[in-house]
Amino acid sequence: MAIADKLLVQRQRHLKWRWLDWLELTLMVLCGVLCFGFSLSVTADIVTRTIGHPWLWLQEVTSTLFIYAIFIGAAAATRRNDHLYLTAISEAMHGTPRLIVEVLIRLVVLGVAFCLIWYGYQNYLRGFGSFRLPSGTPIASLYAIIPLSGVLIGLFTIEQLVNGLRNGFDHPEPPDEGAAPVVSDAQMRAQP
């Protein structure tokens, strides 16, 4: 099995366009790289401080990697229906009530995406007036990911809305290949 097959979630495939799979895969790899870089920079920061020769720029690197991982992870999780999504409420329903709840949930997520785009862009522009120390780079470098994350969250939410309204939101999920078979109580009692 290729790494791409392991990173792409096949759950709720009826809500996804295949042509966006490359974007989900890219975001997942980027999240892994950012989390690894974050862990490495925190470790290096601790080591350099412990030996008495701190590298102050490591704090900037650490915060940048952390912030970028959060917002890229939020976008990836939206595509995978793992974030900003109230599954317990909607999955307990069927028919028209489920359709209404699924659409309402996604409209709320679209509102959040719009806020990320609008206010994130405003913060990005204002960030050119403040600078990070010791490098002196504009703080806008931290804020740049916020509107981009909003665009991706909006794109993935629209993808789910369009496909959900076309194909329906209520589809049975295929059994997990790696999971053990589910045995009911009646089957357990019937065993000799």
Among candidates 158, 149, 148, 163, which has minimal Cα distance to 106? 158
Terminal CA-to-CA distance of the chain, rounded, Å?
A: 38
Q: How far is CA 38 from the centre of its chain?
A: 17
97-141 residue pLDDT tens: 888 888 998 899 999 999 999 999 999 999 999 998 888 899 999
pLDDT above 90 for 83? no
* Of 117 and 13, more confident: 117
Number of Cβ atoms within 10 Å of the Cβ of 27:
23
The model's confidence at residue 189, banded by pLDDT at 50, 70 and 90, is low
Among candidates 74, 81, 60, 78, which has minimal Cα distance to 30? 74
The model's confidence at residue 32, banded by pLDDT at 50, 70 and 90, is very high
pLDDT above 70 for 16? yes
- Kindly write down the DSSP assignment for every residue of the chain, as one continuous string: --HHHHHS--TTGGG--GGGHHHHHHHHHHHHHHHHHHHHHHHHHHHHHHTT---THHHHHHHHHHHHHHHHHHHHHHHTT-SS--HHHHHT--SHHHHHHHHHHHHHHHHHHHHHHHHHHHHHHHGGGSB-TTT--BTHHHHTHHHHHHHHHHHHHHHHHHHHHHH-S--PPPPPTTSPPP--HHHHHH--
Distance CA 161, CA 58 (A): 41
Enter the tokens of residue 175.
Answer: 């059994």
Question: Looking at the whole model, is its pTM more than 0.95?
Answer: no
44-77 residue pLDDT tens: 999 999 999 999 899 999 999 999 999 999 999 9
The model's confidence at residue 171, banded by pLDDT at 50, 70 and 90, is low
